[in-house]
Amino acid sequence: MYDVIIIGAGPAGLCSSMFCVRYGLKTLLISYGESQLEHAIRVENYPGFLEISGNELMQKFNDHVNRAGVDMITQNVVQLKYDDIIKVKTESDEEYDTKSIIISTGGSHKKVNIKGENDFIGKGISYCAVCDAPFFKDKKVLVVGGGDNAIESALLLEKYASKVYLSHRRNELKGSKISIDKINNSSVELLYNIIVKEIVGKDVVESIILNDLKTNKQIELDIDGVFINIGIEPVSQLVRSIDVNLNDKSQIITDDCQKTNIDGVFAAGDVTDNKLKQIVTAVSDGAVAAFSAYKYVRILRC
Q: Please give the pLDDT value at position 2.
A: 96
Look at residue 300 and tell me whether its pLDDT is greater than 90. no
Interval 72-97: pLDDT, tens? 999 999 999 998 899 999 999 999 99
Residue 83: partners with Cβ closer than 8 Å, 6 or more residues away = none
Nearest to 157 by CA among 137, 172, 171: 137
Q: Which amino acid is at 52?
A: I
Q: What CATH number has the domain spanning 118-228?
A: 3.50.50.60
Answer for the pair 160, 153: CB distance below 8 angstroms, yes or no. no
The span from the first CA to the last CA of the chain, in angstroms, equals 23
Residue 146: pLDDT above 80? yes
| 2-109+232-297 and 118-228 in the same fold | yes
pLDDT at position 275 is 78
pLDDT on residue 302: 57
The domain locations on the chain are: 2-109+232-297, 118-228
The mean-pLDDT minimum among 62-66, 94-98, 118-122, 292-296 falls in 118-122
Q: What is the pLDDT of residue 78?
A: 95
Q: Is 248 exposed, middle or buried (0-12, 13-18, 19+ CB in 10 A)?
A: exposed
Interval 23-51: pLDDT, tens: 999 999 999 877 878 777 778 889 999 98
Confidence of residue 115 (pLDDT cuts 50, 70, 90): very high
Q: By percentage, how much of the chain surpasses pLDDT 90?
A: 83
- CATH architecture of the domain with residue range 2-109+232-297: 3-Layer(bba) Sandwich (3.50)
- 294 confidence band (pLDDT: 50, 70, 90): very high
Average pLDDT, the chain: 93
Burial of 94 (C-beta count, 10 Å sphere; 0-12/13-18/19+): exposed
- Residue 301: predicted pLDDT: 56
Pairing of strands 77-82, 86-90: antiparallel
Distance between CA atoms of 230 and 109, rounded to whole angstroms? 8
pLDDT the model gives residue 132: 87
* Closest-CA residue to 196 (of 109, 114, 110): 114
Measured in whole angstroms, how far is the alpha carbon of residue 75 from the centre of its chain?
18
| Residue partners of 37: CB distance under 8 A and separation at least 6 | 10, 11, 43, 54, 57, 58, 279
Give the list of residues 6+ apart from residue 178 with CB closer than 8 angstroms, or none.
44
Helix axes 11-22, 54-68, angle to 10 degrees: 20
SS (H, E, C) the chain: CEEEEEECCCHHHHHHHHHHHHCCCCEEEEECCCCHHHHCCCECCCCCCCCECHHHHHHHHHHHHHHHCCEEEECCEEEEEECCCEEEEECCCCEEEEEEEEECCCEEECCCCCECCHHHECCCEECCHHHHHHHHCCCEEEEECCCHHHHHHHHHHCCCCCEEEEECCCCCCCCCHHHHHHHHCCCCEEECCEEEEEEEECCCEEEEEEEECCCCCEEEEECCEEEECCCEEECCHHHHHHCCCECCCCCECCCCCCECCCCCEEECHHHECCCCCCHHHHHHHHHHHHHHHHHHHCCCCC
Global confidence as pTM: 0.81
Q: What is the pLDDT of residues 156-179, one digit of tens each?
A: 999 999 999 999 999 999 999 999
CB-side exposure of 262: number of CA atoms within 13 Å? 24
